[in-house]
Structure 1
Amino acid sequence: MIASALENLLLWGIYPLWLLAGAGDYLCHRVTDIEHSSGSHESWYHVLQLLVLLVALAVAMLLEMNAMTFGVMVAMVSAHSVLAHMDVSYTDGRRYISPLEQHIHGFMNVLPLVAVAMFGVLHWDEIGTGFDAPILSLASPLTLPSVLLLASFAVLAGIPILEELMRTRRHRAKPSRRHQAGLATIK
């Protein structure tokens, strides 16, 4: 019963909240004119963050859980956190990061950590087998919900990030009047 509740919380709570935070972050980037401020450099950080979380999610959905696969998930979520720090460090001073966007970033950084911790609790026995289990074996059977979850992640999180990257690459970070006015208010 607790396992079922945790699975439902992951699927119907944590995951949708993370997607909503991502949508909010995307809108903040549009409002603060990312294409004319921090540009494609910042967008590449977003692509990398998406990819490491996609790997973590794919491992969770497609592979048998054991210490090695869980370690890969933890490494990917940790890499996401490091990339998020690098992203904001690069962007600070190049583009206005509002209190709302900072709050959204908090959700986007913490929710994957919470999700992987909950996943670890759900699969404690399998992870506890250590390195005795096959390192990389496909989960069987591959389920439709797993495929749909991966596809929804790629579409709902991936399309906005790729659109932003294409938009920023088109504009090549030429400062706009709106961006210059925003930086003037920060000083």
Structure 2
Amino acid sequence: MMMAFLVLHEATAIWDVRYASGRREVSPSEQHIHSVLEMLPLTGLLLVIALHWPAFAALFGYGTSDFSFSPKQSPLPLTYIVTMLALTALLEVLPYLEELIRGLRYRGPRMKQ
């Protein structure tokens, strides 16, 4: 599933830059930031593959692995879960919402003309 979403993410990134560059100037720094952000999902996928190599190899018929869902032997501490959810909201969700709001505000007046 991560590999499929990585491909979808890359396709969306290409479409996004193509769409934006046809409507405004896309600066080199913005392109660089975008390319760094494109690498984050790939890095995450590679880390998961490195940590779970037998399961990854089993996807292609090399060995066997248990893909069933089961609870962890020792669950994550509640403080860890709350901290990660708060950081995700602060550093991921809020910046995307802010950009969406800016985009909708920018688009609003232009649509009326």
TM-score normalised by L of structure 2: 0.71
What is the DSSP-based 3-state SS (H/G/I as helix, E as strand, rest coil) of the residue aligned with 1:142? Answer: coil
Partner of 2:25: 96
Alignment gaps of 5+ in structure 2: none
Q: Are the structure 2 counterparts of residues 135 and 147 from structure 1 closer, same or farther at C-alpha, using a change threshold of 3 Å?
A: farther
Find the aligned partners of 2:71 and 2:105 in 1 and give their Cα distance: 40
Deviation at 1:124, TM superposition (A): 1.0
Q: Distance in 1 between matches of 2:2 and 2:85?
A: 15
Hey, what does 2:107 align to over in structure 1? 172
Aligned letter for 1:78? V
Separation in structure 2 between the aligned mates of residue 155 and residue 94 of structure 1, nearest angstrom: 30
Matched letter for residue 101 of structure 1? E
Letter in 1 for 2:66: A
Q: In the TM superposition, what is the alpha-carbon distance from 1:167 to its structure 2 partner?
A: 2.6
Which residue pairs with 1:145 in the alignment? Answer: 80
Please state if 1:78 is matched with 2:7: yes
Counterpart of 1:94 in 2: which secondary structure?
coil
Amino acid at match of 2:92: A
**How many residues were matched structurally?**
104
Other structure's SS at 1:172 match: helix
Identity among equivalent pairs (%):
38
Following superposition, the deviation at residue 129 of structure 1 comes to 5.0
Q: Which runs of 5+ in 1 are unaligned?
A: 1-71, 176-187
**2:62 maps to 1:133:** no
Cα deviation per residue 1:5-33 (whole Å; 9 max; x = unaligned)?
xxxxxxxxxxxxxxxxxxxxxxxxxxxxx
Matched AA of 1:142: L
Provide the TM-score with structure 1 as the length reference.
Answer: 0.46
* Counterpart pick for 1:106 among 24, 35, 38: 35
CA RMSD across the alignment: 2.6
Larger Rg: 2
By how many angstroms is 1:119 displaced?
A: 1.9
Paired residue secondary structure (1:157): helix
Aligned partners of 1:75 and 1:137: how far apart in 2? 23
Instruction: Tell me the distance in 1 between the aligned counterparts of 2:6 and 2:86.
Output: 19
* In 1, Cα distance between equivalents of 2:72 and 2:6: 21
